[in-house]
Amino acid sequence: MLVKFKLNGVDVELNVKPGEYLLDSLRNYGVKSVKKGCDASSCGACTVLVDNHPVLSCSYLTARVEGKEVTTVEAIQEEAAKLSEYFSKEGADQCGFCNSAFALLIHALKHENPHPSDEEIKDYIVGNLCRCTGYQSQFKAIKAYLGGK
């Protein structure tokens, strides 16, 4: 089936199987920044934005993005670069497999809730697992980034 949507601001038309998930469609199309950590919406590594809202693309049918806007980290390069500096300062960049998903998530959080409390930040990112950092450095980096420090 043919699905038409905007990918990072550009109109695309993908020929996908009816039951295909957005993660697979994007990676098959060549967008490899979206990662497959699991296949059950439990780890968050496949996060993309659909109409600026984070979704887990491993369990989001591609057919659902018809007419919508899909954003991957390629569309927020400057922001990702800036966030990485905060991650670096806190020692939060390790294996990085989950990092692009975090960048998208933080981008969405910033738009939804520009001045989140600590608990609100944690609630927002709790579904994105990380096995490297112990989370505290990551959390401090995100907090500093959102605070513009």
Under the binding rule (CB under 8 A), the answer on residue 144 touching another protein is no
Three-class SS state of 70: strand
CA distances from 137 to 93, 122, 130, 142 (A): 9, 13, 11, 9
Contact 101, 44 (CB under 8 A): yes
Under the binding rule (CB under 8 A), the answer on residue 72 touching another protein is yes
CA distances from 19 to 38, 58, 74, 105 (A): 17, 12, 26, 26
Q: Toward another protein, which CB reaches closer, 65 or 106?
A: 106
Under the binding rule (CB under 8 A), the answer on residue 47 touching another protein is no
Q: Toward another protein, which CB reaches closer, 83 or 108?
A: 83
76-115 mask for another protein (x: CB under 8 A)? -x--xx-xxx-xxxxxxxxxxxxxx-xx------------
Under the binding rule (CB under 8 A), the answer on residue 16 touching another protein is no
Contacts of 43 (CB under 8 A, 6+ apart): 37, 98, 128, 129
Under the binding rule (CB under 8 A), the answer on residue 33 touching another protein is yes
Q: Toward another protein, which CB reaches closer, 67 or 88?
A: 88
Under the binding rule (CB under 8 A), the answer on residue 29 touching another protein is no
Q: What is the number of other CB atoms lying within 10 angstroms of the CB of residue 114?
A: 9
Q: Toward another protein, which CB reaches closer, 67 or 113?
A: 113
Q: What is the bridge-based pairing of β-strands 2-7 and 10-15? A: antiparallel
Interface residues toward another protein, by CB under 8 A? 32-33, 35-40, 42-43, 45, 72-74, 77, 80-81, 83-85, 87-100, 102-103, 122, 125-127, 129-139
